[in-house]
Amino acid sequence: MKLLVIGGTGKTGHELIKQGLAQGHIITAVVRKPKKIKYSNPNLYVEKGDVLVPESFERLVKGQDAVLCALGHKQFIIRTTILSRGTKNIVSAMSRNQVKRFICITSLGINDSKFKLGLYYTLFTIPFILYFYFLDKSKQEKIISDSALEWTIVRPGQLTNGKKRTIYKHGSNVGHNIFTKMISRADVAHFMLYILNTNSYLKSTVGITN
């Protein structure tokens, strides 16, 4: 498949690119700093673009089979709308170019999974450290779910840098009210690529943890 990966310089985005290429997909990675992608492959095209500037990446959307979004940033403790504004631009570009399939990472602990990251996140991390970040992720989810795309929102537990195991739980009731469940970025990428080839979780959210 021809896949557009957004957020390819992040750790999950890196896994999406690496695993996607290993599966034989043709990957176009939209990144703000192309030099951060240190490897090359005949099926990898690295393009400079910024999701907050639609004209910098919209031409790359045309002709893709799907868009995989691992968009993130580190501005946790200040009010920001990077995720929601960027996602709105992505959704609009996909709609204009008739690209339907969209898979996007957010997180457990958002909207109807509010308490699924465990007590530590629910009572401390989200309200005191990640409040604005998660608020923006909530808006991001609404933009996606209100769209006419064939979307899937993937909500991982606490992300780790562990190895790809391909053994994990996924579904609407994944997570725990008390304990924080984890999942490797490699396994999240594996799951995103897996559901590309199925009709599982179309127009729905799905949690994923170990």
Separation in Å, CA 143 to CA 79, 83, 90, 110 = 18, 10, 10, 14
pLDDT of 74 reads 84
* Consecutive 10-residue averages of pLDDT for the chain (210 residues): 96 97 98 92 97 97 98 88 97 98 98 96 96 97 98 98 96 96 98 93 97
pLDDT of 160 reads 98
pLDDT of 107 reads 98
pLDDT of 183 reads 98
pLDDT of 76 reads 82
pLDDT of 205 reads 98
Nearest-Å Rg of the Cα atoms of the chain is 16
Number of Cα atoms under 13 Å in the Cβ half of residue 71:
30
The answer to whether 102 touches 152, Cβ cutoff 8 Å, is: yes
Strands 204-209 and 150-156: parallel
Q: In this structure, what token pair is assigned to residue 173?
A: 């009731």
pLDDT of 77 reads 84
